[in-house]
Amino acid sequence: MKSSRIIRNGFLGLLGLVFSASVWAHGGAAGTDTDQCKFELEKDHWIHYTAYQPKAYPAEEFCGNIPDTGSLTQLVFDYQDQRYRGMAIEFEVTKEPEGKRVFFQPAEKHKSGTVVLNLPDGVPETGKYLIHITLLQDNGERLDAHMSFKAGGGQPTSKGSYGLYALVVFAGLYIFYLSNAGFKRKVDGLLGKAKEF
């Protein structure tokens, strides 16, 4: 009975770790204070950024590292301040350090606060890129922000993904433990020996 309680408590602890890692992946419930996927436009005024490669990695989102080159890439920007929604915004992506333009979208207003840029062929080669965002204010002033990313490094697996894989394996072993008497006896025997040390 004690061994099944130990396994159950271990399972619940692992489950808690997995969900806490997922919650904190983009800054957590407390806000975007630790969010690595954001631009500061002005003091305390932000744009959140997420990249997707829906053909190559349909269920993944990226930020500072985009795994593939030459693959459909979507860059999604969310304004976190209502006042920017009335301004025209221009986007440019350049290959660094040479500053070669690989994407440009002229200034437009986006009243919804969300902008999706589709790069049909992604970025052309492995390396560092810079996203340039320019907000055009009504008085003619330009507000510029920049964020860099690397492309072509292969798929990074987040810590949350490792936790999810571990959870699936652990859950499978736990179900097997509950449903297979022989396996249960072996595990219980090993746990009993472990208690003696």
Q: What angle do CA 52, 57, 61 make, to 5 degrees?
A: 40
H-type helices in 81-180, by residue range? 159-179
Rg from Cα positions in the chain? 23
Q: Report pLDDT digits (tens) over 170-187.
A: 677 777 777 778 878 887
Distance CA 167, CA 165 (A): 5
Reduce the DSSP state of residue 138 to 3 states and report it. Answer: coil
pLDDT in tens, 8-60: 555 555 545 444 444 334 433 334 345 668 878 778 788 888 999 999 888 89
User: Can you tell me which residue has the tokens 């992604």?
Assistant: 122
Position 42 scores a pLDDT of: 79
* 68-127 pLDDT tens trace: 999 999 999 988 788 788 889 999 999 999 999 999 999 998 888 899 999 999 999 999
Say what the pLDDT of residue 25 is: 40
